Amino acid sequence: MLLLRRYSGGSLYSILPIRASIESIIRHFNSLEPLQSSDSTPTKGDYFAAINHVVNIVRREIHPERSLNSLRLPVTSEFVFRVLRATSRSSNDSLRFFNWARSNPSYTPTSMEYEELAKSLASHKKYESMWKILKQMKDLSLDISGETLCFIIEQYGKNGHVDQAVELFNGVPKTLGCQQTVDVYNSLLHALCDVKMFHGAYALIRRMIRKGLKPDKRTYAILVNGWCSAGKMKEAQEFLDEMSRRGFNPPARGRDLLIEGLLNAGYLESAKEMVSKMTKGGFVPDIQTFNTLIEAISKSGEVEFCIEMYYTACKLGLCVDIDTYKTLIPAVSKIRKIDEAFRLLNNCVEDGHKPFPSLYAPIIKGMCRNGMFDDAFSFFSDMKVKAHPPNRPVYTMLITMCGRGGKFVDAANYLVEMTEMGLVPISRCFDMVTDGLKNGGKHDLAMRIEQLEVQLRGV
């Protein structure tokens, strides 16, 4: 009776009162093609608002079919796909919505919706329902993509069902009509490494070679990462050496694969030691491995080691890229080594890169934390001319730092400047600036900031 009273008195989520508006919105959006009609036509924002409304119904209603039927939705392939993707965290809700959509005579499901639902069911260990969905696809002569097949195999391995992963792999040509490509082999290899079946993984690579397929970088990386995570560095090195003797040299150097494997396994000190030995011998890792390494080391707090390694690698001929500076400059600025941050920024500019806000904003923040507000303001003025224009987070950070330093007049100026650039400040910035100005006796300026907020927000 409690549930009957709840629904008879009106839905908790006000489904019926807005039925007409949702219905009118969705009817105009059978596709996402650009709109060419009048201003009264619903926009893409309205379309996604309607999808969000349907998602809320599916997630929260005890009997969502009643409310969905009352909306009289034009059920399309794209609409169903978007709802399935939005409800993927709850496979039961996704499956229930899909079954409701299939009951609509005007809707013909495509492989896109089937695969999205199958992946959702696989990630939630609903294997029986997943296989029913895959069987429906096969009955409708719909092809299963290699991406979905790889996802399912890896989910089996992730959840410890390696026998099912192997069975699916072996039955791919007959059961699902797909080919055993390199990506499919890699997925089974990943599943085997997840359960530490390294001998089986190695046998799979030998079978892969016998079938005439050439291992790619991910093939090597999966097995090396697996061995490194189990603390078997020697086996990983022997595997790379044997593959080289057979003529299957990895697309990346063996040392780089080992370093990345150690980092992925969490053996940071071992990776650092290996890189140190490389640099002493006059060798450097490739730029991708180098960036991964300095990112991991900087997160551990050893920024000085990263800086030393950066200069050593540059002397040995490593050409760093913008991602290197995106890691180093914020890390150096965070420990308040402003001079070093400026040197790195100067090197970045000399390499031909135009500084992004994510590069110069940490320097400004570090200067403000050191009390160098005048220098920070001057540097910010230079960046507005010589670098990419500042965005909303940069202004928000600068206004916040001014407020913490008691520079409320400067904060007010940046607040106005921000609005002149078409960027809307967050409410916290307005509150902080107006309160600070009032406490400092700047009541006229505080009133103007309040008027600006009213003008922007219309409240």
In this predicted structure, what is the pLDDT of residue 255? 67
Rounded Cα–Cα distance for residues 129 and 117 (Å): 10
At 126, which helix (H) or strand (E)? Answer: none
* 323-382: pLDDT as tens digits: 999 999 999 999 989 999 999 999 999 989 999 899 999 999 999 999 999 999 999 999
Q: Is the pLDDT of residue 243 over 80?
A: no
Are the C-beta atoms of residues 271 and 256 closer than 8 Å to each other? Answer: no
Token couple for 265: 């396994």
In this predicted structure, what is the pLDDT of residue 458? 65
* 166-201: pLDDT as tens digits: 988 888 877 777 788 899 999 999 999 888 888 888
Rounded Cα–Cα distance for residues 361 and 395 (Å): 9
Q: Which fold has domain 391-459?
A: 1.25.40
Structural domain boundaries in the chain: 11-143, 158-213, 215-297, 391-459
In this predicted structure, what is the pLDDT of residue 400? 93
Angle between helices 91-102 and 44-60 (to 10 degrees): 110
In this predicted structure, what is the pLDDT of residue 38? 40
Q: Is the pLDDT of residue 97 over 60?
A: yes
- Confidence label for 36 from pLDDT (cuts 50, 70 and 90): very low
At 459, which helix (H) or strand (E)? Answer: none
Cα 389 from chain centroid?
A: 25
Mean pLDDT of the chain: 82
Q: Which long-range contacts (CB under 8 A, 24 or more apart) does 145-149 make?
A: 145/111, 145/115, 146/178, 146/179, 146/181, 146/183, 146/184, 147/115, 147/183, 148/115, 148/118, 148/119, 149/176, 149/178, 149/184, 149/187
